[in-house]
Amino acid sequence: MSFLGNLIWLLFGGFMIAIEYFVSSILLMLTIVGIPFGLQTLKLGSLAIWPFGREAIYKPQASGCLSTIMNVLWFLLGGFWIALTHVFWGIILGITIIGIPFARQHFKLASVALTPFGREIR
């Protein structure tokens, strides 16, 4: 069932979301300072291209202050707007019964977009 959900997700916008994440990741990695943020957008892109059957969990060893500082910087520099976009699409898709599974995936992506540092995608 997750294969069918992922296939429909790709056809109706998931591919474009993933491309946006991958392009922004490449642009962020052009500078040395942007490499950690580019790696996080790669993480978001990999989840955005195939979200059904995958989850984002907190890594237990990532409880240090560096991931917290990076999450605060991420939140202030764009993570809030990315998450807000996913919440918007989640609400729009959640209006219909057919769109509820896709809305849940957008809410999952919004959660990861708020604080990607210290998370692992499985």
Integer CA distances (angstroms), 9 to 19, 41, 53, 101, in order: 13, 19, 12, 10
Cα dihedral sign for 20, 47, 106, 87? negative
Q: What is the pLDDT of residue 22?
A: 93
Confidence band of 4 (pLDDT split at 50, 70, 90): very high
Does the pLDDT at position 62 exceed 70? no
**Three-state DSSP class for residue 9:** helix
Does the pLDDT at position 39 exceed 80? yes
Write phi, then psi, for 119 (nearest 5 degrees). Answer: -115, 155
Average pLDDT rounded to a whole number, residues 96-117? 91
Say which residue, 56 or 60, is predicted with more confidence.
Answer: 56
Average pLDDT rounded to a whole number, residues 25-50? 90
